[in-house]
């Protein structure tokens, strides 16, 4: 019977254990450039079987929050190379999460102050973060404009180019495509944010087209074994909703199966909230079965509110990887704490977004 501390293979990634650090936005990269303390932050947590970085924009247009990192400039790639070198020196594995926020943005963050882009010109009932005078402030997202179909191949290309740069230049072990939490790819998937009438709207097949095009382009660029994807079938985060998520996401994973991905990363329930939603029932075992039946062999990663007993049960019942989010913020040595049944530090919510070293790299370890 496998345990959390047994090694596991996810595509091309040989992982020392089954505990994953989930992507966590921290807003500490001014000018979209990871700083030296970013390398310290990830190095401290390198005992995880896999580190997934904070969401990282594939283009300036893809930015949606102040001081989040990017993958589209030389200085950004140089900053990330210091991070991957530090993690690898500790024997860790790290992938970068590729991000385009779509409509979850603000004109202050867009090139030339333009409107954010989206499948359809529908403003999200959501907020983003602007940092002014060193203070993080939540503000309403700006009205987006609908993308023309002719623009979509360019965005697909930015994902592929970012993936190639991440692996070949910045030294990442792979990438995770962010198709969750109400950001651009998820906006195309879900009917409430996608009312298009062209080949990218309407039917499930059409709404899934863009996500699948991005994923195929990334796997063509770096190989399926170095590519993961994150999905959130029912989270209400960032005003995301679809009336028929089961059929939608079973179709998506069936189409992903032939791409030989490293893993599928599934957020169960509301991101950072309840694992079960009365108004949005979902059968995650059926989702996994749909993927396996279609021939998908990637590792199955589950996420949202897991503690040690839940994680142990999930692994025994067939899930391959368990992602922990906020606990990794406050516990650099979370893997050891889980192994030794040691108490977990509490997260200081006041220092989660923006700031400096305090609340970032100064949480105490057991030592």
| 191 belongs to a structural domain | yes
Q: What is the pLDDT of residues 143-183, one digit of tens each?
A: 999 999 999 999 999 999 999 999 999 999 999 999 999 99
Report the alpha-carbon distance of residue 286 to residue 268 in Å, rounded: 13
Residue 133: alpha-carbon gap to chain centroid: 28
Helices (H), 54-138: 74-89
CA 340, 341, 344: angle at the middle one, nearest 5? 110
Q: Is the pLDDT of residue 35 over 90?
A: yes
| 164 belongs to a structural domain | yes
Looking at residue 34, its pLDDT comes to 98
Helices (H), 124-203: 152-168, 184-189
Looking at residue 95, its pLDDT comes to 99
Domain hosting residue 65, numbered range? 8-351
Predicted TM-score (pTM) of the model is 0.97
User: How large a percentage of the chain has pLDDT more than 90?
Assistant: 95
How many independent structural domains does the chain possess?
Answer: 1
| 238 belongs to a structural domain | yes
Looking at residue 244, its pLDDT comes to 96
Contact 334, 326 (CB under 8 A): no
In eight-state DSSP terms, residue 214 is H
**CATH code of the domain containing 181:** 3.20.20.70
| 1 belongs to a structural domain | no
| 118 belongs to a structural domain | yes
Report the alpha-carbon distance of residue 269 to residue 287 in Å, rounded: 13
| 365 belongs to a structural domain | no
| 19 belongs to a structural domain | yes
Please indicate whether residue 97 or residue 272 has the higher confidence score (pLDDT).
97
Average pLDDT for residues 325-338, to the nearest whole number?
98
The mean pLDDT value of the chain amounts to: 97
Average pLDDT for residues 231-239, to the nearest whole number?
96
Looking at residue 28, its pLDDT comes to 96
Average pLDDT for residues 216-242, to the nearest whole number?
97
CA 262, 232, 106: angle at the middle one, nearest 5? 110
Q: Is the pLDDT of residue 139 over 80?
A: yes
Average pLDDT for residues 352-363, to the nearest whole number?
96
Q: Is the pLDDT of residue 30 over 80?
A: yes
Report the alpha-carbon distance of residue 192 to residue 194 in Å, rounded: 6
Q: What is the pLDDT of residues 305-318, one digit of tens each?
A: 999 999 999 999 99
Q: Is the pLDDT of residue 101 over 80?
A: yes
Q: What is the pLDDT of residues 268-307, one digit of tens each?
A: 998 888 898 888 899 999 999 999 999 999 999 999 999 9
Looking at residue 342, its pLDDT comes to 98
Report, as residue numbers or ranges, the catalytic residues: 183
Looking at residue 277, its pLDDT comes to 83
Q: Categorize the per-residue pLDDT at 132 as very low, low, confident or very high, splitting at 50, 70 and 90.
A: confident
Looking at residue 41, its pLDDT comes to 98
| 185 belongs to a structural domain | yes
Structure tokens at 279: 């108004």
Q: Categorize the per-residue pLDDT at 206 as very low, low, confident or very high, splitting at 50, 70 and 90.
A: very high
Report the alpha-carbon distance of residue 115 to residue 148 in Å, rounded: 14
State whether the Cα torsion 355-361-365-367 is positive or negative: negative
Is residue 272 classed as helix, strand or coil in its secondary structure?
A: coil
Q: Is the pLDDT of residue 136 over 90?
A: no
């Amino acid at each position: 019977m496998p345990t959390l501390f047994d090694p596991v293979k996810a595509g091309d990634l040989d992982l020392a254990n089954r505990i994953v650090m989930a992507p966590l936005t921290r807003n500490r990269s001014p000018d979209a450039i990871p700083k030296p303390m970013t390398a310290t932050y990830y190095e401290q947590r390198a005992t995880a079987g896999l580190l997934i970085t904070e969401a990282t924009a594939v283009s300036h247009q893809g930015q949606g929050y102040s001081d989040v990192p990017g993958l589209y400039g030389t200085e950004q790639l140089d900053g990330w190379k210091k991070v991957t070198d530090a993690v690898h020196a500790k024997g860790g594995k790290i992938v970068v999460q590729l991000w385009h926020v779509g409509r979850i943005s603000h004109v202050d963050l867009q090139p030339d102050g333009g409107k954010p882009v989206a499948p359809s010109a529908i403003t999200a009932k959501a907020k983003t973060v602007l940092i002014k005078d060193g203070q993080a402030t939540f503000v309403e997202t700006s009205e987006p404009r609908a993308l023309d179909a002719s623009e979509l191949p360019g965005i697909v290309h930015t994902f592929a180019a970012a993936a190639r740069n991440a692996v070949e230049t910045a030294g990442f072990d792979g990438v995770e495509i962010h198709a969750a939490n109400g950001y651009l790819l998820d906006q195309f998937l879900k009917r409430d944010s996608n009312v298009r009438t062209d080949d990218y709207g309407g039917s499930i097949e059409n709404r899934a087209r863009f996500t699948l095009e991005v994923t195929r382009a990334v796997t063509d660029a770096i190989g399926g074994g170095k590519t993961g994807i994150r999905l959130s079938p029912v989270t209400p985060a960032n005003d995301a909703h679809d009336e028929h998520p089961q059929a939608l996401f079973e179709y998506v994973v069936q189409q992903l199966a032939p791409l030989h991905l490293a893993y599928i990363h599934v957020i169960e329930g509301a991101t950072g909230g309840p694992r079960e939603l009365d108004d949005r029932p979902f059968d995650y075992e059926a989702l996994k079965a749909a993927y396996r039946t279609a021939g998908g062999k990637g590792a199955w990663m589950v996420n949202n509110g897991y503690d040690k007993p839940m994680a142990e049960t999930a692994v025994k019942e067939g899930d391959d990887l368990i992602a922990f989010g906020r606990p990794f913020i406050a516990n650099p040595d979370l893997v050891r704490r889980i192994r030794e049944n040691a108490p977990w530090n509490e997260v200081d919510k006041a220092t989660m977004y923006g700031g400096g070293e305090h609340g970032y790299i100064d949480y105490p370890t057991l030592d």
